[in-house]
Amino acid sequence: MKQLIKLSILFLLIATFGCDADGNHVDCTTPPERFIFEFIDKDTGKNLFAIGDFDATKPVTIVDLTTGKVIQTLYMKSDNLYRIVIDSIGWQTGVFNYSINYDGKSILELHVSAERVSEDHCNFTRIKSVEFNKTGIELDKTTGVYKIYFTQAK
């Protein structure tokens, strides 16, 4: 019986601390970064949906400009802080040309180039470029949210 316990402990130690062919590295996969957008009044700094200047009952659609297909339809809600989240970029690689539409009108075009990379035994998506067809967009580096500024007619 003592022999069985010793062999079990030895097997457990080898399985736990044994080396693999790659020098004891652990494979990992990191999900792609999310693209999050918020519509902001340039003068007040407030979210246009939260203050009622944009109607939250009207859909925001994301359209693939290459195919013309709607890839996402969103209704703004306070529980998501009235933000648009595009998760699809990066799960696939290549060039993405999207239009963000509100009330049937394009308010922003987003052009992203992404590639899947494997480094140090980890797979992840590297965003090679991000371009917009509009000025007045700022990336908040602490939250990762792109703020799209609008000047409202008074």
Residue 120 lies in domain? 27-150
Q: How confident is the model over 28-82, as pLDDT tens digits?
A: 777 777 899 999 999 999 999 999 999 999 999 999 999 999 999 988 887 778 9
Establish if 117 belongs to a structural domain: yes
Q: Could you report the per-residue pLDDT of 91-102, keeping only the tens digit for each?
A: 778 899 999 999
Structure tokens at 7: 């062999």
Which two tokens mark 68? 């013309």
Number of domains in the chain: 1
Residue 24 has pLDDT above 70, yes or no: no
Q: Is residue 123 part of a domain?
A: yes
For the question of whether the overall pTM of this predicted structure is more than 0.85, the answer is: no
Distance of CA 67 to the CA centre of its chain: 21
Which one has a higher pLDDT value, 31 or 21? Answer: 31
Residue 22 lies in a domain: no
Return d(Cα 131, Cα 149) in angstroms, integer: 16
94 within some domain:
yes
Residue 5 lies inside a defined structural domain of this protein: no
Q: What is the pLDDT of residue 122?
A: 84
Write out pLDDT tens, residues 117-145. 888 888 888 889 999 998 889 999 999 99
Higher model confidence: residue 26 or residue 69? Answer: 69
Q: Residue 3 pLDDT > 70, yes or no?
A: no
For residue 108, the domain's CATH number is 2.60.40
- Indicate left, alpha or beta for 19 from its phi (over 0: left) and psi (-120 to 50: alpha): beta
Residue 41 lies in a domain: yes
The pLDDT of residue 5: 59
| Joined tokens for residue 95 | 């060039």
Q: Is residue 18 part of a domain?
A: no
